Homo-oligomer: A and B are copies of this chain.
Amino acid sequence: MDNHVYKTIELTGTSSKSMEDAVQSAIRRASETIENLCWFQVVDTRGNIKDGSVHHWQIVLKVGFLLSDTAQDKEARVR
């Protein structure tokens, strides 16, 4: 039986509302095409400014997910 292997990708979620919403929007988008999302880690918190106020929060996060077994899932996921 094989050991689990995970892949991490780096996404930037954006939101005009809050830091949490920016993270959620990135994870929601990732979950549309990736199953088995497991964890995330925030690696940068940025934003742009308009009229003396935060316009968009931009949260850079790493998202980790379990790679499925190639015997059952032939698609070239790792690339």
**Residues on A facing B (Cβ under 8 Å):** 2-16, 18-34, 37-42, 44-49, 51-54, 56-57, 60, 62-64, 67, 70, 75-79
Tell whether, in the assembled complex, residue B76 and residue A33 are in contact, meaning their CB atoms are under 8 Å apart. Answer: yes
Tell whether, in the assembled complex, residue B11 and residue A25 are in contact, meaning their CB atoms are under 8 Å apart. Answer: no
Q: A23 contacts which chain B residues (CB < 8 A)?
A: 47, 54
Q: A70 contacts which chain B residues (CB < 8 A)?
A: 29, 32-33
Q: Please tell me how many copies of the chain the complex holds.
A: 12
Choose one: B19, B39, B63; the contact of A19 (CB below 8 Å): B19
Q: A5 contacts which chain B residues (CB < 8 A)?
A: 11-14, 25-26, 29-30
Choose one: B33, B42, B77; the contact of A77 (CB below 8 Å): B33
